[in-house]
Structures are given as C-alpha cells and as structure tokens.
C-alpha cells in the first residue's frame, strides 16, 4: 500500500506513517530492502567511498571521530548514524550538519514510489533515504553505522570499501542471542573479499577472525596489529604504520574512547593510499569530535552526566568512569531500560556504587515495567529506589535531592538520554 504522501509532506507525517506501515518494528533481512535499493539506484550513479561501522558499543563514537577527521581533511562527508536523540535529522548528516526536512521528504517520496508493493520498516526507509541523500549531494565519503547485528542489517546492502568493528559483547539477545561467538559472526557479516577492515576489540572471538580469513578480508586487530599506551596528558598508538605515535586525548571522555580512537586511526592508516588524511587532520578531529549522550556533562554543582550505556560492557565502562570521578558526595542514578536487556548484568557494576536510584517507565514499546525494575533494585537493601511517572520527573527529583558535591548519572537507554535532554 502506498503512503498517499508526497515530497511536500512533513517529516512528522512521513515518520508517523513509517512507524505503522510495516508489520514489525525490527525485521532483519536484506531481500526486501535490497530489491528497493536496486530499483532506486540509477545504473549510472557514481560509487561513493563507503565505510561501514559495526559492533556492540562504540559505534557512534567511532563514526563521530571518522566524521570529524575527514571534515578536517577537506572531504565532503555523509554520515548515517542511529538512533537520534532529539530530532530525526540527526541520523543523516553532511559535514556534521543534519540535512533539511525537504531533502529527507524528497527521498522518502522516491523510495515510496520505487518500492511499489514491497513493505519496508522504519529503519529500512531511513537507511535508503540516507544513501539517496548522499548520492544526491555527491559526498566524497559516506560512513554508515549498522543499527543491529551486521549481516542482516539494512546498511549491509552497500558493499563497503572499508569496515570498522568496535567492541563485541552481548546485547539485543532477542535478535542476536547470547552467544558471543555467534554475535561476532553476525558483525563480521559486513566484511567483503579484499576489503580493508579493522577490529578494535582485542578479545574478539575467533569466529570473526576465521570468517575474515575465509573471505579474504584485509583485517587488522587490536592487541595484535596495534595497541595503545595511556600517558598523563595524551596517549600513544603503538603500530607498524604511518600514524603510530602520540595523540591528544579525545574530547569524548573515558579510557574506552582511546581504544576507539586507536581503531579509527588504524583504519585511516590502512586506507591512506585511497583517502589520505594528515596527522594534523587526525589531531584536529579528535579534539573536535562531538557526540551527545556519551559521558556528556550537562551541568555542574552537582555534576550531571548523560550516557546511553545499556548493556553489560557499556555499564562496566560507565561504572569505571564514575569511580574515577572520586566524588565526595552521593551518586544518584536516573535509570530505565528495555525489556530485552540483561538487567542483572547491566546493574552488577553499580552495586555498592549508586546510592539513590530514580526510575521511571520509558516511552517505548519494548520498555521494561517499573514494577519489574523496582523489584530487581530493592533486592539490594543498600540502595534507595524511588519511582516516578516519567524520566523527566525522575531527573527533576534527582536534581532536587542532589547536593552540590553529589553526582547524577542518567543512563540505561537512548530513550533515557532523549527524555533528559528534553527536560533540561
């Protein structure tokens, strides 16, 4: 069924229709979206140099670093990254600026005509629109972030010239399962024969390495082909390539961001003969990378941080960061989570660390109920837990309860960060 909308329809109208036009919110598989991509893409269309970024945690950070460095080098850069936090247009950027509503509406209309009777999900519409916009504006490089998994994600309709795999851990268990070897193999699905690829996870399962060898992917591995040393005021990349050496600390906070930066720089070294950048471009890019919701400080006295941590690995990273702050006061958490997360594993790093929990329901179809969340939290009697009707109300009360030396961390989901940004 066609939408009945046009290129002049509003983005809100298009998104409202896309949210209800497909039978599933998440529908992994490439057959439908690939057929529409083929119908949409003119045979004479030029090929855009493509970098696909997949992984469990760190995808958004690596995409943002690559984007900033390539912009510093003078390239015209298109980025497709999900999800958004405040405005849908954040998903589709050209040289760091979200594209206009009119560009997205025009692409949505083209896609609607090209698909005929083929049903597409919300994410598939967005992926095709981003690719169409980048083609229209003739970007030099497009950086595509995988939404879920890799092999069957809509982004994988494009045969990328290079690929970057970030960390690999257990997440989205309803779709990817709870076996890390299998999850790694799903991520490796973005690899292609003779493609340049980097994996920033030094503990990557052999399933990914074996798949790359079988396919003939030119894979560089953290801990083997490159490594990092953290110094007092900077860090160094240990590698046998042109960009080995000292670098400024990334603007994005946390030791994990140094590891992300190392993977990004190593990928750039390996594609230097195709898309050259300078050491100075890298320094500038790392100093100017901007990304909401990643240990983002939004207030002080008390310090308030926003972080999208929502699985066991990212929760441990956040816990380590909170410990490094050595706050003199209490730590308040504004928290909620989706039902498909391993809640006990997400909460484990915070036992004995968080003093007061402020929980509320997420405005999302897969939200975990506050009752279930409360039950899990109050099992540990050392923690106080307060329930609210919304994340916005939870944040307001956490701010009122927090003293000047306290710290407030808002985490558990992109939906938590989105609601907190709206409330601030």
CA distance 221 to 203: 9
Tell me how far apart the alpha carbons of residues 208 and 193 are, in angstroms, rounded to a whole number: 14
Q: Give pTM, 2 decimals.
A: 0.90
Rounded distance between C-alpha atoms, residue 339 and residue 344, angstroms: 12
Task: Check residue 43 and give its pLDDT.
Answer: 57
- Among 141, 134, 137, smallest CA distance to 53 is for 141
Of 103, 98, 91, give the one whose Cα is nearest residue 133: 103
Q: What is the side-by-side strand order in the sheet with 49-54?
A: 97-98, 92-94, 77-80, 141-145, 49-54, 162-165, 196-199, 218-221
Candidates 289, 274, 282; CA nearest to 243 is 282
Peptide bond into 302 cis (omega under 30): yes
Sheet strands (E) in 250-349: 296-299, 303-306, 331-335
pLDDT of residue 35: 94
52-90: pLDDT as tens digits: 999 988 999 999 999 999 999 999 999 999 989 989 999
Domain residue ranges in the chain: 11-288, 296-423
Provide, for the chain, the percentages of residues in helix, strand and coil under a 3-state DSSP scheme, each rounded to the nearest 5.
Answer: 40, 20, 40
At residue 26, the pLDDT reads 61
CA separation (Å) from 24 to 19, 120, 408?
Answer: 9, 9, 36
Angle, to 10 degrees, between the axis of helix 31-40 and the axis of helix 122-136? 30
Scored b (16 or more CB within 10 A) or e, 18-47 reads beebbeeeebbebebbeebbeebbeeeeee
Check residue 175 and give its pLDDT.
44
Convert the pLDDT of each residue in 100-111 to its tens digit.
999 999 999 999
When computed from its CA atoms, the radius of gyration of the chain, rounded to whole angstroms, is: 21
How far is it, in rounded angstroms, from Cα 424 to Cα 422?
Answer: 6
| CB-CB neighbours of 117 under 10 Å | 6
Nearest to 200 by CA among 165, 227, 234: 165
Spatial distance between the Cα atoms of 27 and 175, rounded to a whole number of angstroms: 10
Alpha helices in 245-298 (DSSP H): 255-270, 279-288
Q: Report the pLDDT value the prediction gives residue 205, as an integer from 0 to 100.
A: 92
- Write out the two tokens for 184: 């790694």
Strand order, beta sheet including 407-411: 296-299, 303-306, 407-411, 331-335, 356-359, 384-387
CA distances from 259 to 39, 63, 204, 381 (A): 40, 14, 14, 36
- What integer pLDDT is reported at residue 231 of this predicted model? 86
Query: Inter-axis angle of helices 414-423 and 391-401, to 10 degrees?
Result: 70
Cα distance from N-terminal residue to C-terminal residue, the chain: 40
- Which listed CATH number (3.90.190.20, 3.30.450.20, 3.65.10.10, 3.40.109.40) goes with 296-423? 3.90.190.20
Residues in the chain, pLDDT under 70: 23-28, 42-45, 170-178, 379-382
Q: Is it true that domain 11-288 has CATH number 3.40.50.1820?
A: no
- Residue 6's SS3 state is coil
152 φψ region: left (φ > 0), alpha (ψ -120 to 50), beta (else): alpha
| Nearest-angstrom CA–CA distance, 207 and 199 | 13
């Amino acid at each position: 069924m066609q939408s009945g909308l046009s290129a002049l329809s509003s983005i809100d109208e298009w998104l409202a229709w896309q949210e209800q036009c497909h039978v599933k919110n998440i529908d992994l598989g490439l057959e439908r979206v690939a057929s529409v991509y083929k119908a949409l893409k003119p045979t004479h269309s030029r090929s855009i140099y493509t970098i696909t970024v997949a992984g469990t945690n760190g995808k958004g950070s690596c995409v943002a670093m690559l984007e900033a460095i390539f912009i510093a080098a003078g390239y015209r850069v298109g980025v497709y990254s999900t999800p958004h936090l405040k405005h849908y247009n954040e998903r589709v950027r050209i040289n760091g600026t979200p594209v206009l509503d009119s560009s997205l509406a025009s692409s949505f209309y083209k896609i609607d005509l090209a698909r005929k009777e083929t049903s597409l999900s919300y994410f598939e519409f967005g992926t095709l629109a981003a690719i169409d916009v980048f083609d229209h504006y003739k970007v030099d490089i497009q950086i595509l972030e995988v939404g879920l998994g890799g092999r069957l994600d809509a982004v994988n309709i494009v045969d990328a010239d290079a690929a970057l795999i970030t960390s690999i851990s257990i997440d989205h268990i309803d779709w990817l399962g709870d076996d890390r070897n299998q999850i790694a193999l799903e991520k490796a699905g973005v690899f292609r024969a003779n493609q340049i690829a980097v994996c920033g996870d030094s503990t990557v399962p052999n399933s990914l390495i074996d798949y790359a060898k079988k396919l003939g992917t030119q894979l560089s591995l953290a801990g083997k082909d490159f490594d990092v040393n953290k110094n007092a005021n900077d860090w160094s990349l240990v590698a046998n390539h042109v960009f080995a050496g000292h670098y400024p600390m990334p603007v994005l906070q946390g030791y994990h961001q140094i590891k992300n930066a190392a993977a990004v720089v190593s990928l750039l070294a390996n594609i230097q003969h195709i898309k050259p950048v300078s050491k100075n471009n890298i320094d500038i890019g790392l100093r100017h990378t901007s990304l909401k919701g990643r240990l983002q400080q939004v207030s002080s006295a008390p310090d308030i941080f926003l972080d999208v941590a929502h699985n066991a690995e990212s929760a441990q990273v956040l816990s380590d960061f909170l410990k490094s702050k050595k706050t003199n006061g209490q730590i308040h958490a504004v928290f909620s989570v989706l039902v498909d997360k391993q809640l006990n594993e997400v909460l484990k790093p915070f036992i004995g660390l968080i003093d007061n929990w402020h929980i509320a329901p997420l405005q999302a179809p897969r939200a975990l109920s506050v009752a279930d969340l409360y039950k899990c939290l109050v099992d540990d009697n050392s923690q106080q837990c307060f329930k609210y009707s919304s994340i916005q109300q939870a944040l307001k009360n956490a701010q009122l309860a927090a003293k000047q030396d306290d710290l407030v961390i808002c985490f558990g989901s992109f939906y938590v960060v989105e609601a907190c940004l709206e409330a601030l």
